[in-house]
Amino acid sequence: MTTQNFKTIISYNGGCAGDLFVKSCNDEILMDLRFGRVVQPSTLKEYEHKLRMGIETSLDEELEKLPYKFVNTHMLEEVVGKGHTVYNIIMTDPQIQLTTIYRQMQIQKLRIKIHTDEWYTTIRNYCLEKDYISAAKHWFAKAEQLWLDRMNYRLKFADAEKLDFNLLYTDRFVDSLLKQGWTHNATLLKYNHAKWLEENNTFTFENTINTMASKLSTMNWEQQEGWVEYNPVT
């Protein structure tokens, strides 16, 4: 790894505004949101996919493809100790955790691999019966537990500096980061975050389940192999 390729990696759970944060760190103004989401290219999604598929890959080679100083990822232990600075985004407030899970499941492109396990079978059966609300609740329950398990792991992880995002949904968010010692592009982050808050300020269980149910109702549950997924109208 060359000094020129040194990166700062932001590790986060889904829904925690990692794209907003990294976009701001990379000195990019937030122009618009897509279904409440920030779209930005400085991410290790391709590297994550290769690791999941068992494809041989190199973190440094993947990072060299990205012409940005700040990069985000859902990985944590996989990117620590590789010569880059890693920040671990955490949330300790149970209500903020839940709000973030609501946000994640509302903005997420639902996608599920056809399988014979109980979880998939139950969701499929509900959807074949057009009981999309029950299917959404079943999906949400597992997603919530996975998210909380991952956050608990983050809270115990000691090998990366933590950034507390408990105030993400308030106008005091950037000030809270400054108090934690974060100073990079704080002015732009404050501007982008204020714009982000306009569409990311109210998340409820009912709205989340209804949003998920609406997506599930458009997916092909007669499909026999591969992935059943939601394709939004653009």
Which pLDDT does position 225 carry in this prediction? 85
Average pLDDT of the residues in 86-113: 94
- pLDDT (tens digit per residue) in 117-149: 899 999 999 999 999 999 999 999 999 999 999
Q: What is the DSSP letter of 165?
A: -
Which pLDDT does position 54 carry in this prediction? 86
Which pLDDT does position 2 carry in this prediction? 46
- Give CA–CA dist 181/199, Å, rounded: 27
How long, in residues, is the chain?
A: 234
Which is higher by pLDDT, 196 or 232? 196
Which pLDDT does position 233 carry in this prediction? 62
Helix, strand, coil share (%) of the chain residues, nearest 5: 45, 10, 45
Residue 192 has pLDDT above 50, yes or no: yes
Do 24 and 185 form a contact (C-beta atoms < 8 A)? yes
- Give CA–CA dist 173/209, Å, rounded: 27
- Give CA–CA dist 16/111, Å, rounded: 20
- pLDDT (tens digit per residue) in 2-25: 445 789 999 999 999 999 999 999
- pLDDT (tens digit per residue) in 147-166: 999 999 999 999 999 999 99
- pLDDT (tens digit per residue) in 22-72: 999 999 999 877 767 788 889 998 888 888 888 888 898 889 989 999 999
- Give CA–CA dist 128/64, Å, rounded: 46
Q: pTM (2 decimals)?
A: 0.92
